[in-house]
Chains A and B, each alone.
Chain A
Amino acid sequence: MKFRAPIAWSQLSHGRIKLLLAIAGVLFADVLMWMQLGFLDAMFESATFVPQRVSADLVMIHPQSQALFRMTQFSQRALHRVPAHPQVESIQAGYVGICDWRNPWTQRDRQIFVYGFEPFRVPMDVPGLAEGWGQLRNPDVCLFDKKSRIEFGDVPKALAEGREVQAELNRRKMHVVGLVEIGASFAVDGNLMTTDTNFLRTFPERKSGWIDFGLIRLKPGADIVKVQKELQATVGKEVSLLTRQEFVDFEKAYWQKNAPIGFIFTMGTAIGFLVGFVVVYQILHTDVANHLPQYATLKAIGFTDGFLWRIVLQESFILAILGYLPSVLFAFGMYKVAADATHLPLKLTAFRAVLILLMTVTMCFFSGSVAVRKLRSADPADVF
């Protein structure tokens, strides 16, 4: 006979307020998890957006560099020794720096991240860059990241309307001649792309030839790891050579180890889990405690402990599902709002959906298992 689930459901739904409270508890926990895990992922996603897309098989950096926005410069002489290797196709020096961008409409200064590359090749595969790259040969021009925070000014709108956009970058005039798409991250609010020449004009304190990284492209079919080893032996220990994946991991590692942000989001997720656990536990425990004489009666007339345990665990499972489902809708809405406000890549992924579902079920199952222990005090001998 199969009408087992209805008992758990009958018990849960008998008190509407109790049920709503429990669902709200799970929902709250889930919403917290969605937000925390969403931001955590967005942080990694945005931080590694550029490393993932550099057009290079190997990247040369200074070993003391910590992250893209905390690079240590090195002499490009090391990079220039690389093309001697028969498998190397081309090299390209890159500079990065942070300086003030004065919003042309509000005259407010805000720090922006600037990339400067040697001009002969498109240095990375980000939307808009290939189209705009050719226009950067002129002095004092740049491409503007249209996903930069709105505080830099609505450059995309002005360009779309055919207006000329000229801003002050590090107190020098700078023309925006096109748009690219990179996105803000936890470290930077906006990005500009330009050539090495324009970069050095913007940052007069930076010495020409002291670069932040070098992009190395190999000939088709080259064994990247083998070449990496051979090149590393040639250039010595003053620079590190990373594959692109290693470059991505290098950026990730910085956020994992050195920034408290990763820890904070993980904590936030754990707190969500804990809150959900406590709320569901409280409600199931109270429910069991309120029904102890009845449960003892069921034991007295021959029901096994297992039967009663299943009811409570089923209740916890039902709560998990009922709290989880609306949390997906909430997450949709909140990701939209948060992504619009922060320009961070908050995406509702299937992986995270499954992860949070599993965490919710685990959370409720824990609560149920602890609440179930109360059933032991239902002694059938005490019923008479």
Chain B
Amino acid sequence: MSTEAIAETFDKETTTQPVIAASGLCFSYGTGELTKQILFDVDLNIMPGEIVLLTGHSGSGKTTLLTLIGGLRTLKQGRLEVLGRRLDGADKDALVQVRRQIGFIFQAHNLLDFLTARANVELVFRMHPEVRRAEVQRRAAEMLTAVGLGQRLDYYPSSMSGGQMQRVAIARALVAEPKLILADEPTAALDSKSGRDVVNILQRLAREHHIPILMVTHDDRVLDIADRIVHMEDGRIVS
């Protein structure tokens, strides 16, 4: 193979292959009479390293779309490929496999209250038993330092502020080097200052590690971090 050919393959895989490729997604909750369609023919592509914000009114289907992409719900109609795996028609195990490569950040941080910040982050490596204990500790500490909590490794969630807890959640989402970050209104429960900090940290780390982000937000003040903004209305992507 010539160098150009290699470069071309490389190029294709790393830059031109989308991390998320969705086309014709439809989704409805409920069955029979109570069926309520939420998503209508959604197309969405996200490229490696891209930071995409998803905006739209409450109830427009943003969270639903995110749960489908994250493999948290099974898709019934449409085509969806995430991190090179087909999710439409995938079984439960396949969904779990995809989820393990995604860093999730939720509106509620949902840290385990009985574990310290450090232990909450280290917990993720239970899914990666091949990583040695010493390395687990090092990476967790590094990641917490990266989100500005180097001084609070052994704090319990109950003695941290909302912003600090959300930063622990970011560290937890990023520590195992995910290939994609999905975030649903991560700043909704925070005041504007800590919300801004959280978003900045997220942006910086994503850029450093070249991880794409799909983030739902209502917060107009953070729109500037986006490479691209996608707007949803009544279950359709309008721009």
Contact = CB atoms under 8 A, between A and B. Distances in A.
Interface stretch (B79-87, B121-129, B226-234): B121-129
Contact of A383 (B72, B112, B123, B124): B72
A12 to B, nearest CB: 8
9 contacts: A1-B136, A10-B119, A291-B112, A291-B113, A300-B104, A301-B100, A301-B102, A301-B173, A380-B99
A120 interface: no
A303 interface: yes
A307 B125 CA distance: 13
Given A7-B123, A14-B114, A294-B110, A304 B96 contact: yes
Q: Can you list the 4 inter-chain pairs with the closest CB atoms, starting with the nearest?
A: A14-B114, A302-B100, A297-B110, A302-B99
Interface in B123-149: 123-127, 129, 131-133, 136
Nearest to B100: A302
Interface in B67-106: 67, 70, 72-73, 96-97, 99-100, 102, 104, 106
Given A300-B72, A302-B100, A11 B114 contact: yes
A384 B107 contact: yes
B50 interface: no
B205 to A, nearest CB: 17
Contacts of B72: 300, 380-381, 383-384
Given A2-B133, A301-B102, 11 more contacts: A1-B131, A11-B114, A14-B113, A297-B106, A300-B106, A301-B99, A301-B124, A302-B97, A302-B99, A307-B126, A380-B99
B99 A294 contact: no
Given A11-B114, A294-B110, A383-B106, A1 B129 contact: yes
Interface residues of B, number: 35
A14 B124 CA distance: 20
A268 interface: no
A103 B132 CA distance: 77
Interface of B: 63, 66-67, 70, 72-73, 96-97, 99-100, 102, 104, 106-108, 110-115, 119, 123-127, 129, 131-133, 136, 172-173, 184
Contacts of A302: 96-97, 99-100, 127
B151 to A, nearest CB: 22
A381 B126 CA distance: 21
Contacts of A297: 104, 106, 110
Interface string A279-298: 00000000000010110111
A381 B38 CA distance: 15
Interface in A326-384: 380-381, 383-384
A115 to B, nearest CB: 65
Contacts of A293: 108, 110
Interface string A56-73: 000000000000000000
A13 B125 CA distance: 22
A98 to B, nearest CB: 63
Given A300-B70, A384-B66, A3 B115 contact: no
A13 B115 CA distance: 11
Nearest to A304: B96
Contacts of B111: 294
Contacts of B108: 293, 383
Contact of B184 (A10, A11, A303, A384): A384
B149 to A, nearest CB: 19
Contacts of B127: 302-303
